[in-house]
Every structure is written in C-alpha cells, then in structure tokens.
Amino acid sequence: MEISEKYRKYLVEIILKDNRYYTVWGTDLGDNDNDKLLVNKKNLLLFYKINTLKTTLFKFKDIFLDKENFENWISEDPFEDPYSTTDLTCLYTFSEKDLRGKKAALEIINSLNLIQDFYIQIKENEKAFNSKLLLDLKDNLYNNHFWKSDNLELPFNAIIIKKIQSALRKIYDDFVKQIEFI
C-alpha cells in the first residue's frame, strides 16, 4: 500500500456483475497529475488474474509520462492485494435506496469517477458526466453523506429516479463495451 502511495499508481480490482478483474489506476505525475487507467488504444484493459496483469505491465511502460515512477512501482509492488475495489455493478442496479446509504453513495461516486477518468483519458464521451442529472446526483450524494451530517435530503421524485437509473445503466453498458478482457 505504501508503495502505491509513494508512486501514486494503484492495483485496483473492478467488479462487473459478480466477476472480479484487475487493472491499474494512477496519477500521471508527468501529465499535470491526470488520473489514468491501463488503456490500449480506446479500450480499458481488465485482467482476470493479478499475475497476468503484472507480466503485461512491463509491456506498457509508456502509459504514464512519469515512466520512472511507473517502472519503480512495477518492480517494488508485490501485487498481492488490490489497493481498492470498485463495484461498477452499482450503476447497473441503482435504486432509490442507494441514495440513503453512505456505502452505496461512495460506491456510486467511485464508479462514476473511474469511468469518467477513462473517458477523459481517451477523449470521448466526457459530456455525459456533465449532464445536470448526473451533477445533481453526485451533489446529492456528496451533500448527504460526506459534507453534511444529519440532514438526509432526497429531492428526487420517482420520475427523476427512473431517469437516473436509465442514465447510469447507459454509462455502465457503454463502458463495458470499451473493455478488453485479458
């Protein structure tokens, strides 16, 4: 864990409908501290096994401009346990009850942020994350669970909840189409 923090590169586990995959998510210290994922052209690379990922990383030494940090991270990290886990399934299964729990709120925010980082990196579909609907959703989750304390506010009616469900499923479905499984 300390090695990941030192180099700001992270082995992450991603869950898609009960299946676990692994990839790299990190900050490119040579590219204005932009967050990046392990991408081949326009596809996110997800690995079935951590060992396969580690072996493959040596082929992707130029993904980060801060190449020295990336190479040091690869050589020093034992690649035993993921730094974090993001369950993207929450976007597909979203319901109104997910607005009420801090754990569900954090999972939704982390999932949206990971996917948004991917689209920013490949310079596609960034506008979807600036829609009023998604901005309102994220504001609501942050306000109710992370910035305020005891004032749970649920301003979304049933029609808006359906729109949020539809938008999150579309984001999930579009994202899954851009994954290369290895």
What residues make up the domain containing 42? 2-86
Residues 61, 106 within the same domain: no
The percent of residues above 90 in pLDDT, for the chain, comes to 59
Residues 67, 136 within the same domain: no
Residues 68, 118 within the same domain: no
Cα dihedral 33, 34, 36, 39, rounded to 10, equals: -120
Closest CA to 137 of 90, 173, 174: 90
DSSP, residue by residue, 36-95: EE-EETTEEEEBSSHHHHHHHHTT-TTSSS-HHHHHHHHHH----S-SEEEETHHHHS--
Domain final residue, candidates 86, 104, 137 = 86
**pLDDT the model gives residue 127:** 77
Residues 125, 171 within the same domain: yes
Pairwise CA distance, residues 57 & 59, whole Å = 5
Residues 81, 42 within the same domain: yes
Residues 120, 137 within the same domain: yes
Residues 79, 102 within the same domain: no
Record the pTM.
0.89
The 10s digit of each residue's pLDDT in 135-168 is 989 988 888 888 765 555 657 788 889 999 999 9
